[in-house]
Amino acid sequence: MSCEKLREVEERLQKACERAGRKREEVILLGASKSVPAERIREFYACGLSTFGENRVQEFLKKYQALKDIVIDWHFIGRLQSNKVKYILGKVSLIHSLDRDSLAQEINKRAGAVQDVLIEVNIGEETTKGGVAPEELFAFYQHLLNYKNLRVLGLMCVPPYTEDPEKARPYFAKLRELKEKLESEFLVKLPHLSMGMSADFEVAVEEGATIVRIGTLLFGERR
Ligand SMILES: *Cc1c(COP(=O)(O)O)cnc(C)c1O
- Nearest ligand 1 atom to alpha carbon 77: 13
By C-alpha distance, which of 76, 208, 187 is closest to 142?
187
DSSP characters over 18-36: HHTT--GGGSEEEEE-TT-
Ligand 1, pocket-test mutation among 213, 218, 219, 221, most atoms within 8 A of CB: 213
The residue whose CA is least distant from atom 6 of ligand 1 is: 215
- Rounded-to-integer distance, Cα 85 and Cα 45, Å: 26
215 three-state secondary structure:
coil
- DSSP state for residue 38 in the 8-state scheme: H
Residue by residue, pLDDT tens for the chain (223 residues) are 789 999 999 999 999 999 999 999 999 999 999 999 999 999 999 999 999 999 999 999 999 999 999 999 999 999 999 999 999 999 999 999 999 999 999 999 999 999 999 999 999 999 999 999 999 999 999 999 999 999 999 999 999 998 899 999 999 999 999 999 999 999 999 999 999 999 999 999 999 999 999 999 999 999 7
Mutate to test the pocket of ligand 1, among 197, 202, 211, 217 (most ligand atoms within 8 A of CB): 197
Alpha-carbon gap, residue 135 to 155, rounded angstroms: 14
Specify whether the CB–CB gap between 89 and 112 falls below 8 A.
yes
0.75 surpassed by pTM: yes
Which protein residues are within 6 Å of ligand 1, measured from CB? 32, 34, 55, 77-78, 158, 197-199, 213-216
CB atoms within 10 A of CB 204: 29
